[in-house]
Amino acid sequence: MKVSALKFFSPLENSKPVEKKASKPVILKGSISGSGKLVFPDKIVEKLGIDPSGTLFKIGSQAGKRKLSSLYLVPATAGEPDLFKMVKAAKSFTIPLGVILKTGGVDYSDTKYSFIISSFEYEGVTAFELELVKDQAEKVPYTGKPRGRKPKVKETEE
């Protein structure tokens, strides 16, 4: 048998090419507590890249609007006036804004609100927009068989 030319294979040729799956865009969400605090879960704070113990924020809304639809958090330095600080809670960080939310038309005590976080550039600093969203999880009335004792029927006199 005469061998003219040999072609050698590599282990990479023996494996199928791995297809990369398109990852879903991660939606960063937080919520508003029943006492009027903005609640940022620990995992969300990590993804935002914020040092919650050392970062102070200016909090604002769009000028000329009566009702709040979005809040804006802009990181600031310690010497500036009117700054808010994140407070550590059990598994999250909070910013108390009860009075500001009430005056802005957000009824957080009766309706559950959450917010979607997106980042933007503001004067050379990465700031965050919190778009307020009403949660639609209302309790559906029970329509099944009534439970418990039957109510007594009152006899009427004729």
End-to-end CA distance of the chain: give it in Å, rounded.
119
Cβ(121)–Cβ(127) under 8 Å?
A: yes
Instruction: Find all residues with CB under 8 Å of 90, minimum gap 6, and list them.
Output: none
Share of the chain above pLDDT 70, in %: 92
> Mean pLDDT over all residues of the chain?
83
CA distance 135 to 39: 15
Which residue shows structure tokens 């329509």? 143
The pTM of the full predicted model, rounded to 2 decimals, is 0.68
pLDDT of residue 108: 85
pLDDT per position in the chain (158 positions), as tens? 566 777 777 777 777 777 777 666 778 888 888 888 889 988 988 888 888 888 888 888 888 888 888 898 888 887 778 888 888 888 899 988 888 888 888 888 888 888 899 988 888 888 889 898 888 766 677 788 878 888 888 877 65
CA distance 115 to 101: 13
Output phi, psi for 32, to 5 deg. Answer: -110, 125
Which tens digits make up the pLDDT trace of 132-154?
888 876 667 778 887 888 888 88
Beta bridge mates, 76: 56
Output phi, psi for 31, to 5 deg. Answer: -145, 170
